[in-house]
Amino acid sequence: MEPFSAVEVIRAKRDGLRLTDAQVDWVVDAYTRGVVAEEQMSALAMAVYLNGMDTDETARWTAAMVDSGEVLDLRTDRPTVDKHSTGGVGDKITLPLAPLVAACGAAVPQLSGRGLGHTGGTLDKLEAVPGWRARLSTAEILAQLADVGAVVCAATEDLAPADRKLYALRDVTGTVESIPLIAGSIMSKKIAEGADALVLDVKFGSGAFMKTVDDARALARALVGIGVSRGLRTSALLTDMSVPLGRAVGNAVEVAESVEVLRGGGPADVVELTVALAREMLALAGLSEVDPAAVLASGRAYEVWARMIRAQGGDPDAPLPTPGHVHVVPAPATGVLTGLDAYAVGVAAWRLGAGRARKEDPVQAAAGILCLAKPGDPVVEGEPLLELHTDTPQAVPGALAALAGAVSVADSAPARGPLVLEVVRG
């Protein structure tokens, strides 16, 4: 006999009530066991999205998600530090960051996810590398951490299984942007990983789930607070996601850009954020004397990348997938590009096949967008501005519709704010 019914819990949150600890524990466990159906959890997620959760509810929700599975111990001889991004457009930072921090002497267990809405997923990107596999056992993760120092993979089946189910459900039910659900999702997985420290990249702007700085700061404080309360050294960077990060948005195109960064090149904003996050991770790991910028320039991070890819069955030297169709979007006027809306570009990439509309949908490895100019760059009317990559040409009109109004050109561009606005520490 179940102590509660799903309908009673849904009604409580629908009516703006605080869920009791017992209700939270039960509904998360019952959903994991299949007693609470997908449509019922969808309704509850929407009620949480609309009515929120207080601090204690969110902490209890997170603890219940952790308790739905096993808690790992991924510590090695090196200090162990992880990173998580709340998601952005062109946010491929994990790809160069994990091998960079490993090359600096830390161990990086990066258990990652797939795309949510208009933002790309790290696993979807890496699966563009021929042969690379996302699924590793706990023993394989530990062995790779000890040997290579970095692993980017899917969470094991037993790690916060409630979150794995809910993560996919949120993506297709319009409930991604809820601060309690985001906080519970992120921190349940990170706490269950058993790392020594965690750095969060909390994004704000049109391409982020948190549109305003205030909302991003509130989320950052919630995340850091949960981490510190569980004894996890935690900090968060607030970073700008009003324009796409780098010039590549999609899957294979973002892998290619990440390799450029690891080889000492790549877009300046990708390099800047990679180094900033690496510095914070190394500080929490007790390795602040190491300069990640110098390590990146030395090529040692690329060597770790190649070893990391090979360890997971991939070929770092193999050609990446190329699209069956490329559509060029020209600049609408001559002048300086003043705006390139990140959300619009993200939706366009999603419509081209880089993301999924349903949780069971596949993604196209070659789908995405190349931004041939970024705000502040000069453009000439009729010259190429964006390249749309897809294997389904019939998706192009939908992508172009998403880009309507996304581009602005003027005689001059105002100065942009900083990429990293502030750091929130416990």
Catalytic positions are 84, 163, 170, 185, 189
Helix and strand numbers, DSSP H then E, in the chain: 16, 13
Radius of gyration, alpha carbons of the chain: 21
3-state secondary structure of 266: coil
Both structure tokens of 219: 């989320």
Asked if 203 and 421 touch (Cβ cutoff 8 Å), the reply is no
Sequential DSSP letters for 385-405: EEEEEES-GGGHHHHHHHTTT
Q: Are 423 and 284 in contact (CB under 8 A)?
A: no
Please give the order of strands across the beta sheet that includes 378-379.
Answer: 378-379, 335-340, 407-410
DSSP label at 379? Answer: E
Q: How far is CA 165 from CA 32, 112, 162, 270, 330, in A?
A: 8, 14, 5, 31, 41
Name the packing angle between helices 94-103 and 300-311 (round to 10°): 110
Tokens of 423: 């750091």
With beta carbons less than 8 A apart as the criterion, state whether 316 and 129 touch: yes
Q: Which residues contact 212 (CB under 8 A, 6 or more apart)?
A: 204
Cβ pair 70, 193 in contact under 8 A = no
User: Which residues share a beta bridge with 238?
Assistant: 202, 422
DSSP code for 317: T
Question: Which amino acid would we find at residue 337?
Answer: L
Question: Mutual orientation of helices 213-229 and 55-67 as an angle, nearest 10°?
Answer: 60
User: Residue 319 CB: number of other CB atoms within 10 A?
Assistant: 9
For 380, other C-beta atoms within 10 Å of its C-beta total 14
**Bridge partners (DSSP) listed for residue 422:** 238
